[in-house]
Structure formats: C-alpha cells, structure tokens
Chains A and B, each alone.
Chain A
Amino acid sequence: MIFFSNSVIVFIFIEALLLLLLSIAFINVVGILKSWDFSATSTKQYLLEKRSYLVLLIIFFTLGFKIILLPYFIYMIDELNVLVPGAMCAAGVINSNIYGVYLLSLKVRILFLVGLWIILNHYDLQAKDYPFFKKKLWLFILIFFLIIAESILDIFYLINIVTDTPVSCCSAIYGVSGISNPIPFDLHVSELLGLFYLLYGLTLISALYRYALLSLFSNMAFLYSAYYSVVYFFGTYVYELPTHLCPFCMLQAEYFYSGYFIWGTLFLGTFFGISAALLQYITGKEIKKMYRYSLAFNSAFILFCSSYVLLYYIRNGVFL
C-alpha cells in the first residue's frame, strides 16, 4: 500500500537513479585511484585527469541531489502519516518499525559527509595540483558504501511500514509517561537550557577566534543539546502546548513549516562548525568562511528558537 503513494514512487525512482550514477562513478573512482600519479606526464595520466573531471562532476551533482532528497524524505514520511493508523506526524511513521530511526540517523550522517565532500572538492579544484584529490576520492568511497547501506535500509524500512496495526503517536513516543526523565544525564529542563546557551556561547567563541578543536567539540555537543532543547522546551512554544513534545510536528503546514528552518539552521550551523575544524586538519588551511557561516546559522537558530519563547511571554505574560 505504501508503494502506491506518489511521493514514495518518486523517492524510490530518484534514489535508484542516483545509486546508478554513483555506482558508475564508484567504478571509475576505483580505476582512477589505482593508477593516479599526478607527477607523471604520461598519456594515461592525462586521460585520467580528463576522466576524473567528468567523474567528479557526476559525483558533485549526484551528491547535491542527495542533499535535496533528505528534506523530501522527511516530507514524504510526514505525508505517509495518513496511511499509518495511530500516526499523527512523521514521528509515528518513523517509529512504525525498527529501521526508521536508524535510517534517519544514517541519512543525517551521510548528509554531513556529503557536505564535507563538496567543500573538499571545491578547495581541491581551486588548487592547481590536486592537493586533496586522493583524500576526497577515499571519502567518496566511504560515502558510497554508506549510501548502499542506506538504500538497503530504505527498502527494509518502506517494506515494513505497518498500515494495519496502530502505531504510537509523537506524544507517546516523546512524552514523559513511562520514563522518569527522557533528557540525558537526568537533567532538568532548566539545566538543559543552561547547558544549551553555554554551548552556544562556546560555539560563538570558537567561531570568532577560530579555535578548531573547540569548534569541533562545542558544535558536536551543541547539536546534541539543541536536539533535546527543541524537543523538550522550544517545541512546546512552537506548538503552544506544554505536553506536545515532538521534533516532527513543527514540519507541518499547521506550524508554518517552521521545523525546516529550525532543523535546517541547526544542521548548517553545526555542520560548518565541525567541518571548519575537520577541513583545517585535512587541508592544513584555516577556512575563515566556514567559521563565519557556522556563527551565522547557529545564531539564526538560537534567535529563532528563543523568539518563540519571548513572543509567547510578551503575548501572554507567562511562560509555559
């Protein structure tokens, strides 16, 4: 039944097409890596250079589509809630079988690596001696295998979405009933918020002063704390309901698709913060632009989330 949904058909078709293109690129990448010697002036090396340009172009566009496909995947899952009994949003559909959470988590990780690859490729093409050529091809091979795993999980997940048995809705999944405290380290919401703003401060300092190591760890920790802060605090202000705990409902039209902005800015901010550090270790260069982007997106995320709380307070004179 799930496979009769238009959005699922489109998703599977695009995934298959991208996988085909990536497989072609993978075969070529292995061939190029086997014989690549930039110092050589042989006809073979020049042919490899020409071939690599085309292959890199294929990889670039294919991976670019993978970036677009993640928001589409979330949109598709959200749409499927009408077919899954009990599900009110993407949360119920994602948790309708054991593969969903792993799949979503893998997709986000792949997206991160894809972003890293695109930036590394950009800096490699800017140079005149392919300084990161082999590194980016090895990174592509890692991404390719993860995409294979993702495709297998995609199939298992979609096949196993239940349409005849009721699943839990988001309130049941993220609510506190049955669990003493779902926030890690048994933190209270106020402690979580303190940690959240403290970690943002650290990401701010690391971006302003361009401390690579601090940027790496503060952004990773900020991503982690931000997820729980949005689900267990800021989300309630988006929904204007203290018992509504869900990372997905805010993606719906009812909430003006604000979730896409919230999660998008959080992902981009932490991505640039972590990548700035990683790329500094890979390329040996400090990429100032990345720190600036990290600062901008993290700040936009903080401002947007905080504004919900502030506006609620201004309107009602109380907090939730």
Chain B
Amino acid sequence: MIQLENINKIYNESRPNSFQALKDISLHVSKGELLILKGVSGSGKSTLLSIMGSLIKPSSGSVIVDGESIAKLPDLHASNFRAQKLGFIFQSFNLFEALSVADNVAIPLTNQSLTLEALHVSVGDAMEIAHISHKKDTEVRLLSGGEKQRCAIARALVNSPKVILCDEPTANLDSINSQKFIATIKELNALGKTIVIATHDPIFETLDARVVNIENGSLLKR
C-alpha cells in the first residue's frame, strides 16, 4: 500500500541552518497493516508521516501510495490525492472550533460533488464509527479533548480513505481517552484500513502492530 524508497529530507537546503530530517529511509507498509512509527520528538517521524501523506515533498527518493507516485505530485493533484485516499488525525485535532461536529466531519467532502443526501449518509456513517453521533450538532469548542479526538477520527474516515495517518494522536488525551482511541484504531484496522501512527506514547505498545523505530532521521534495524 505504501512504498518508500531511499527517502531523504533536508530542510533549508543550501543554507547555513540546513538540517537533514530523514536519511535514506526505505519502508514498505502492506495493505491493511497497522504500523507504529516510534521515536522521540525531533526524530523525524512526523516528517516521514507528512511525506507519506503528500503534505511535504522529499528531497530525494520515491513515494508510492496505493500505486500512485506522489513524491513530485503538484500541489493541486496532491490535494485531490489526499482528499480521495488519505485520512489524517493530528495531535492538535485541527478542527474548526466554531462549527458543529457534523460540519467539521463534512469538510473533506466539500469538493467531492456529492448530493446533500449522500453527504449526510457519509457524515452519519463516519460519526457512527467514531462514536460521536450523539454530539453531531454541538459546536466543537464545547467538546472535551476525547470528543474532539473522536470528531477528528470521524473527519478522517468520512471520505472512506484506504490509508489513515495519525500524528501523535494521544498527545492531548488522558489515559482513559487514549485507551478509547486505541479501541477505535483496532476497529478501523479490522475494517481493513491501513493505519500508520507516529507516536512516542508507550500506550501503543499494547496494540498488535508492527513497530518501526526512528532515531535522528534513520530507521533503526531490529
């Protein structure tokens, strides 16, 4: 599902503050696999996740996601690619506080030319899976951290993505909500979703997943 070959990422190239975030990384993630990218802050795991999600482009190397090469994809196509194939869950949720849960969840579908009825069905299904349907009309600013996370999960699922990328998803959650998040991840994985989680939270060790350690921009051999 995801194939990374010899990925390097250098920030501020050819400048005095140049910094190599990723060094010659090759990684394969199979369809339906659950992968944990583990490493301390600054190790390069978020950069790697962003490259997988075509949010940033590598300085060299090839990235193939679901059969499509995305390393040099123009921004316009990268946006379409993300909208169709990927779901993102971020550490800080990145939700619109003034909008309701249902409106936030519907955002990835705004450019998909769906009928209003189809849109309502997709949003309802995603909220159901993420266990946030009961708060669908509540403004996001009134939600707890755990509820915000579930709203973010529903938003990540609404376009039925094949791949879900999570960046430090439990960083703003207490342990109870973190456990709930893990339970949701298990459910999603059981549905056949390919999931990659970048985290340094030891709570994910309880998951039956492949763990890849990353340190100073390189994958550690195990």
Contacts and interface: CB of A to CB of B under 8 A. Distances in A.
A41 B57 CA distance: 8
A38 interface: yes
Contacts of A188: none
B75 A128 contact: no
A42 B59 contact: yes
A44 B72 contact: no
Interface size classification for chain A: 10 to 19
A154 B47 CA distance: 53
Interface of B (DSSP majority class) = loop
Nearest to B71: A41
A53 B77 CA distance: 12
28 contacts: A38-B72, A41-B57, A41-B60, A41-B71, A41-B72, A42-B14, A42-B59, A43-B10, A43-B11, A43-B12, A43-B13, A43-B14, A43-B59, A44-B13, A44-B14, A46-B57, A49-B74, A50-B75, A53-B74, A53-B75, A53-B76, A125-B74, A125-B76, A128-B73, A128-B74, A128-B77, A129-B72, A130-B74
Interface string B71-85: 111111100000000
A41 B11 CA distance: 12
Contacts of A42: 13-14, 59
Interface residues of B, number: 16
Contacts of A125: 74, 76
B58 interface: yes
Given A43-B10, A43-B12, A43-B59, 7 more contacts: A41-B59, A41-B72, A49-B74, A50-B75, A53-B75, A53-B76, A130-B74
Interface in A32-75: 38, 41-44, 46, 49-50, 53
B102 to A, nearest CB: 31
A159 B58 CA distance: 56
A194 B59 CA distance: 64
Nearest to A130: B74
Interface string B22-65: 00000000000000000000000000000000000111100000
A229 to B, nearest CB: 43
Interface in A119-137: 125, 128-130
A81 B11 CA distance: 63
Contacts of B57: 41, 46
B209 to A, nearest CB: 31
Contacts of A46: 57
Contacts of A130: 74
Contacts of A129: 72, 74
Contacts of A53: 74-76
B73 A41 contact: no
A50 B11 CA distance: 16
Contacts of B11: 43
Nearest to B68: A128
A264 B76 CA distance: 33
Interface in A121-159: 125, 128-130
A38 B71 CA distance: 12
Contacts of A128: 73-74, 77
A121 to B, nearest CB: 12
B75 A49 contact: yes
B133 to A, nearest CB: 38
Contacts of B77: 128
Interface string A172-212: 00000000000000000000000000000000000000000
User: Which of B14, B58, B60, B74 is packed against the most chain A CB atoms within 10 Å?
Assistant: B74
Contacts of B73: 128
Contacts of A41: 57-60, 71-72
Contacts of B74: 49, 53, 125, 128-130
Contacts of B76: 53, 125
A186 to B, nearest CB: 55
Nearest to B60: A41
A91 B58 CA distance: 60
Contacts of B13: 42-44
User: Which of A38, A46, A50, A130 is packed against the most chain B CB atoms within 10 Å?
Assistant: A46
A49 B14 CA distance: 18
A49 B13 CA distance: 16
Nearest to B78: A128
Nearest to B57: A46
B143 to A, nearest CB: 34
A43 B73 CA distance: 14
A42 B59 CA distance: 6
Contacts of B72: 38, 41, 129
A201 to B, nearest CB: 40
A46 B12 CA distance: 12
